């Protein structure tokens, strides 16, 4: 059993690596993912190369791939009111060090208080019969990082995982599986400060709530049918007993 699980993990890792090598899975120099809740709270995941954090956000970090990695330094970078840093980890790609940071956020409107996220404005508004999410991404810090191996093909991504059915969005890539919207820019355009306007409107009832309601309704209907069958069998059995 343990061997089978290990083999599955190895196959997944090999498949993932192969897909990346063949270009079947996009790789981003900066990838920000907001998993939004209807109350305005969110889980935010950031995967970015350290050179990108320096060039785009002005972070005071060493871009040397062999520099010492200090988790506490990144925790301090992303700490703020209403924000809990849940995870900080590092990995390497194309000779550059990348960092993954996961945040629990009580109110996305307060995210611009964090220096690394201050280039964006986040809003979640209740309109007539729906919610509207807007994120405006402004200028980058435009710091020089020297030769870090960038080829000019690097991409930046902003992703939003919405909790309810999407009525409207302006993502050129459409809705991905899992109710996720993605907006992309080239690293060149992001460094140049090309504005990015992200907008989506969605229903006021979450998909999870609707799924639970449907499941509950189906379960109750099934129990009602079962009770009816038991009653019918019991009644038939009584009528078959001779007086």
- Please, how many CA atoms are within 13 Å of residue 43, restricted to the half-sphere of its CB? 7
DSSP state of 193: T
- In tens, the pLDDT along 105-129 reads 999 999 999 999 999 999 999 998 9
- In tens, the pLDDT along 31-68 reads 999 999 999 999 999 999 999 999 999 999 999 999 99
Residue 171: phi and psi, rounded to 5, are -75, 125
- Alpha-carbon distance 199 to 169, whole Å? 6
Query: Higher model confidence: residue 159 or residue 178?
Result: 159
CA angle 29, 105, 189 (to 5 degrees): 25
- In tens, the pLDDT along 60-100 reads 999 999 999 999 999 999 999 999 999 999 999 999 999 99
Q: How confident is the model at residue 230 (pLDDT cuts 50, 70, 90)?
A: confident
Are 171 and 134 contacting, i.e. CB atoms less than 8 angstroms apart? Answer: no
Q: Is 28 exposed, middle or buried (0-12, 13-18, 19+ CB in 10 A)?
A: buried
pTM confidence score: 0.77
DSSP state of 80: B
Has residue 237 got a pLDDT over 70?
no
pLDDT of residue 211: 45
Residue 170: phi and psi, rounded to 5, are -115, 25
């Amino acid at each position: 059993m343990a061997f089978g699980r290990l083999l599955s993990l190895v196959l997944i890792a090999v498949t993932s690596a192969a897909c990346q090598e063949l270009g079947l899975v996009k790789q981003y120099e900066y990838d920000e993912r907001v998993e939004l809740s209807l109350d305005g709270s969110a889980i935010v995941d950031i995967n970015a190369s350290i050179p990108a954090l320096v060039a785009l956000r002005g972070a005071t970090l060493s871009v040397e791939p062999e520099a010492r990695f200090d988790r506490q330094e990144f925790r301090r970078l992303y700490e703020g009111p209403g924000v809990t840093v849940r995870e900080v980890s590092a990995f390497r790609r194309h000779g550059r060090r990348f960092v993954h940071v996961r945040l629990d956020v009580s109110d996305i409107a307060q995210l611009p208080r964090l220096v690394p996220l201050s280039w964006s404005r986040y809003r979640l508004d209740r309109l007539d019969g729906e919610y509207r999410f807007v994120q405006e991404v402004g200028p980058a810090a435009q710091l020089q990082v020297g030769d870090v191996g960038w080829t000019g093909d690097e991409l930046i991504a902003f992703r939003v995982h919405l909790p309810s059915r999407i009525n409207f969005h302006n993502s050129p890539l459409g809705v991905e599986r899992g109710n996720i919207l993605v907006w992309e820019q080239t690293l060149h355009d992001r460094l140049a400060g090309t504005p990015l306007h992200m907008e989506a409107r969605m229903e006021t009832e979450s998909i999870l709530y609707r799924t639970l309601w449907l499941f509950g309704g189906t379960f109750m209907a099934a129990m009602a049918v079962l009770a009816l069958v038991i009653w019918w069998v019991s009644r038939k059995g009584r009528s078959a007993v001779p007086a």
